[in-house]
Amino acid sequence: MKTILITGAGGFIGSHLCEELARRGNRVRAMVHYRSERSEGWLAELPDVLRERIEIIPGDVRDAGLVHRLMKGVDMVYHLAAMIGIPWSYEAPASYVQTNVQGTLNVLEAARAHGVRRVVHTSTSEVYGTARRVPIDEDHPLQPQSPYAASKVAADAMARSFHASFGLPTVIARPFNTYGPRQSQRAVLPTILAQLLAGANELRLGATAPTRDMNYIADTVAGFIACADAPDDANGQAFNLGSGNEISIGDLAYTCMRSVGREVPIVCDEQRLRPAASEVERLLADNARARDILNWQPRTSLEDGITATAEWMRGRIASNAQTHYAI
């Protein structure tokens, strides 16, 4: 049994990670983004038997003092707290630097001070930008095409530097496009499913030609845990958590239509389009390093994952509940 700190614990991936680690019997210290109404994010929906194993603490990773206090007695850190919405990063890039870069520095400094055994830092496939070669391995050039991606490149570099400079054991988990229950509707797959399940007569999307490497949440969580349990030679390395398969947004939409049994025309919504030079046209993971070192590979087919996500979303569309817990 370990004492584990998870930042960003109330969000999509963070809440699933908390749930799985608590289910395995660990003591979980869950840092959730502070809101005046004291929201616990998605952790509020976990069964009581699991919530009893989770210490939920509201806060903000930009507060270095708080991060230091929460780090005391911790064996392992999963750092997921971040501002993640790409569209908003065009409007408020400084906010992304403050949370994603300065916040990461605060976590690394505290982990170093308290002798934490390992920090699993969360990256994103967006750091690669549009693929220059496929499949994308971890040595692919980093070419951020949005302020969000730039902030994550900087945060990744900070994590690597603390391993190189101070010997802090850090592993970078680089998930490709994760989807599943609890994901905000601003992400592409729940956007598609929400419109279809709500009975829309047309499907409003942005660009449909770009391809993505889609991964079900349970597989991504398993990848994070594999990063934490990896041998020492994993320290300082990044690991792609991706399926090795790509699908265009348009084809993804038609796959969702088949899953829910509705077919409607796709209409371009210009408000959903990224600036032309900012669109990432192709993402396809090479996961060989994760397979070889972490003994990890995804197990859920896209069709099964979409079916599970659609079933969870039924009954939630009217209240729009999933958009409340975006971070």
148 is annotated as an active-site residue? yes
Cis ω for the linkage preceding 265 (within 30 of 0): no
| Interatomic CA distance for residues 250 and 211, integer angstroms | 9
All residues at 6 or more sequence positions from 292 whose CB lies less than 8 Å from its CB, including other chains:
none
The answer to whether the CB of 129 falls within 8 A of the CB of 145 is yes
Buried b (16+ CB within 10 A) or exposed e, 283-307: bbbbbebbeebbebbbebebeebbe
In angstroms, the CA 254 to CA 274 distance is 22
The C-alpha atoms of residue 274 and residue 90 are separated, in whole angstroms, by 9
Report how far Cα 53 is from the mean position of its chain's Cα atoms: 23
- How far is the CA of 323 from the CAs of 90, 101, 212, 313, in angstroms? 20, 25, 22, 12
What tokens does 210 get?
Answer: 């770009």
- Is residue 214 within 8 Å of residue 252, measured between CB atoms? yes
* Marked catalytic residue, from 96, 148, 179, 325: 148
Cα–Cα dist 163/169, whole Å: 6
Q: Measure Cα distances from 128 to 2, 173, 283 in Å.
A: 33, 14, 8
End-to-end CA distance of the chain: 28
Report, as residue numbers or ranges, the catalytic residues.
148
